[in-house]
Structure 1
Amino acid sequence: MSITLTKVKESQKHILRNLYSLYLHDLSAFTAKLEIGEDGSFHYESLERFWEIDGISPYFIKLETDIIGFLLLLERPFLKKENDFGVNDLFILNQFKGKGWGREAVNLLFEQRKGKYFVIELEENRPAVSFWKKLYAEAGIEYQERQKVMDEEPCLIQTFTV
């Protein structure tokens, strides 16, 4: 079985919206900033911008033909500073977690897109912090890390080059 990254078409944004609600639900375990909407789902308010702004690129993570998650990549021209890419969000459905598919998706991204990256995690999101640090170690990626408060949340930011 193989993993692919497929750019999300605007006609598929309803699928991405549903996945984002699940992602935000998972993320709500690590922050009090996320609240459920009146309709019973979590909302990502900026979703429409993904197809309006150059350099915000959502990808479905597919296992064969099945969508098992998504990745939100920030790139130029949206990014204007020293980084070429930023992995803004990475989500794998629970039934596929712990099987290496997220790692395989990120490694595929790194094969396809070389450059200087940044990744940001909430400090409280220990599973995400552990995932990324294990990935760096396995891939032999040397990274620099710093702490920064973003939107009143303590975060870790790693920068590295692939």
Structure 2
Amino acid sequence: MAGPRTISLDAATSSDAPLLSNLLELYIHDLSDVFPGIELGADGRFGYDKLPLYWSERERRFAFIIRCAGRIAGFVLATRGSPAAEDPDVLDIAEFFVLRRYRRSGVGRRAAVLLWQRLPGKWTVRVSEGNAGALAFWRGAVGELTSGAATETTRPGHPNPWRVFSFESVPELVAI
């Protein structure tokens, strides 16, 4: 089990785009179990068209690399504005990925806490109900952060409904 002090959340720069692009391929491959409509492109890659926006819209999009003991362990893409909220300033976890070897070791939870420390404010976390592992992870992480004070709602989605967690991270709460 990785100790919490060994986890870092490093702001990604445009020079990290190739790394993030490669990690996104692993992430989207994992999601293809949950979203059967995900298909490979003719080049054998899934692709992620929005990645360049993280360098051109830096005031609204935030890219991070998760490291465990200095080694790459995953990534986080967050946005200001969410498809699940009317408030244009609410923060949203667009994509969150932890490599399989680091899952269930505290790395993801610590990375989430580091994210909420770095970007305090109102948040939404959207999870497909078809992604049972992610749903359990986010319910636990958000519940721990907020001591159960988050709002949990369901929104229609395809192929499964979405669970939406809404909460506010404030520096005093994000000490877990």
Normalising by structure 1, what TM-score?
0.89
Q: How far is 1:141 from its partner? A: 4.2
Aligned partners of 1:50 and 1:58 also within 8 Å: yes
Aligned residues: 160
- The residue that corresponds to 1:34 in the other structure is 38
Matched, 1:160 2:164: no
Q: How far is 1:99 from its partner? A: 0.6
User: Secondary structure at 1:25's aligned position in 2?
Assistant: helix
- The residue that corresponds to 1:17 in the other structure is 21
What amino acid does structure 2 have at the position aligned with 1:22? L
Matched, 1:115 2:121: yes
Matches of 2:159 and 2:135 in 1, distance apart? 18
What amino acid does structure 2 have at the position aligned with 1:36? L
Matched, 1:143 2:147: no
Aligned partners of 2:149 and 2:167 also within 8 Å: yes
Aligned partners of 2:9 and 2:66 also within 8 Å: yes
Q: How far is 1:96 from its partner? A: 0.9
Q: Normalized per residue, which structure has more strand? A: 1
CA distance 1:84–1:67, shift in 2 (3 Å): same
Matched, 1:71 2:76: yes
Normalising by structure 2, what TM-score?
0.82
What amino acid does structure 2 have at the position aligned with 1:35? E
Which range is displaced more, 142-151 or 112-121? 142-151
Aligned partners of 2:130 and 2:160 also within 8 Å: no
User: Secondary structure at 1:38's aligned position in 2?
Assistant: coil
- The residue that corresponds to 2:173 in the other structure is none
1:62-96 Cα shifts (integer Å, max 9, x gaps)? 113211100011127xx971653111111001111
Gaps of 5+ in 2: 170-176
CA distance 1:156–1:83, shift in 2 (3 Å): farther
Matches of 1:56 and 1:80 in 2, distance apart? 17
Matches of 1:8 and 1:49 in 2, distance apart? 13
- The residue that corresponds to 2:67 in the other structure is 62
Gaps of 5+ in 1: none
- The residue that corresponds to 1:88 in the other structure is 94
> Matched residues, percent identical?
28
RMSD value, Cα? 2.0
- The residue that corresponds to 2:172 in the other structure is none
Runs of 4 or more above 3 Å deviation: 150-153
